[in-house]
Amino acid sequence: MSNPPEGVDLEVLRPYFAANVRDATDAPLDAELIAGGRSNLTYIVSQADAGMGRTWVLRRPPLGHVLPTAHDMEREARVLGALGPGPVPVPEVFAVCTDPSVLGTPFYVMERLDGRILRTADEAATLDVVEARACSEALVDVLVDIHGVDPEAVGLGDFGHPEGFVARQVRRWSQQWERSKTRELPAIDELSRRLAAGVPVSGPPTLVHGDYRLDNTILAADDPGRIAGVLDWEMATLGDPLTDLGLFLLYWDQPDATIAGSTEAVGMLPGFLPRDEIVARYARASGRRVDDLDYYEILARFKLAIILEGINARFQMGKTLGEGFDHMGEMATVLADTALDLANGSANPALRG
């Protein structure tokens, strides 16, 4: 057994897995950190027993500087369980642990799906033009499926408070900024003021993923035009679906929003749908108006800048696992500045300040 990564105690997990996780035995466990420090920590946990190889995925909160309302493992596992039987593809959850004696924090264990995660534009560029278009269309269609879920029918009717959702988002993230910031950024304060003053009228509320983008999906191993699973539901709630579309477009269009540090946006690559086609396909399939979409794109930049500043705070405290965190503070500044530029050109007078 190799040395486990920080954040998991395999000797403590071993009896827990044997008692609670499907197909697990009391054999030794191995673990590998596959995503760390930026959000929740994600590990591949494996077990070799009598020639049988089994793998699972374990999710737990980051090691330090956890913001209020963030990183709720029970909430994330609940939405996965609710969506399991429906059209939105998600991994199966095998166990949810809230006992602090196991890892010192809540966590859950889920199915490891077979497929590809394209984490950077360079990886996305490995798709040919036909595959890239099919992937783009599938991403939009799955987002429409998420927003088409009937929360009451799947047991998520009490999963959020959609009334006043957008205004509450602005207040909440402004508060998160005060808790996260390591320095003053006047652009963030100005964006908070303008966003609060220019809240649009929301359409009918839906289930909202909260962080929907290419690298939070798994493409089927044999077909990049099919989404095998949607991951990272930690920010899911009931609210305005255009918040999802605004954030999706941010990642799709802006190379400076790619946390992996790629220099090219996915939407600029051959075969991938350009922004306007993404928006048109979503509007057509969902039947939703997208007139105020610039507000949601500015809100997305505002939120992501604050998230990156929170990561920067953890990095400065030495509480991140993995690499690539030294530029998070700079990226937060860039996102805030580009959001303010977009606001200055908005048709919404409140956003123009």
Place of tokens 């998230």: 307
Question: What pLDDT sits at residue 261?
Answer: 44
CA distance 46 to 39: 22
Residue 95: pLDDT above 70?
Answer: yes
Domains 10-111 and 115-352 share a fold: no
Computed over every residue of the chain, the mean pLDDT equals 89
Looking at the DSSP assignment, which residues form a beta bridge with residue 217? Answer: 230
Continuous H helices in the chain: 10-20, 73-83, 100-103, 121-124, 129-147, 165-180, 186-197, 242-253, 275-286, 293-316, 328-344, 349-352
Which CATH class, in words, describes the domain spanning 10-111?
Answer: alpha beta
pLDDT digits (tens, 9 = 90+) for 14-26: 999 999 999 999 9
Please give the Cα distance from 163 to 121 (Å, whole number): 37
Give the whole-angstrom CA distance, residue 158 versus residue 152.
8
- Residue 147 predicted with pLDDT over 70: yes
Per CATH, the homologous superfamily of domain 115-352 is Aminoglycoside phosphotransferase (APH), C-terminal lobe (3.90.1200.10)
Give the residue extent of every domain in the chain: 10-111, 115-352
Nearest to 189 by CA among 200, 167, 174: 174
Specify the DSSP class assigned to residue 326: T
106-110, 157-161, 256-260, 280-284: segment of lowest average pLDDT: 256-260
pLDDT tens profile 290-331? 999 999 999 999 999 998 888 887 777 776 666 666 778 888
Nearest to 216 by CA among 64, 332, 42: 42
Residues 6+ apart with CB under 8 A from 99: none
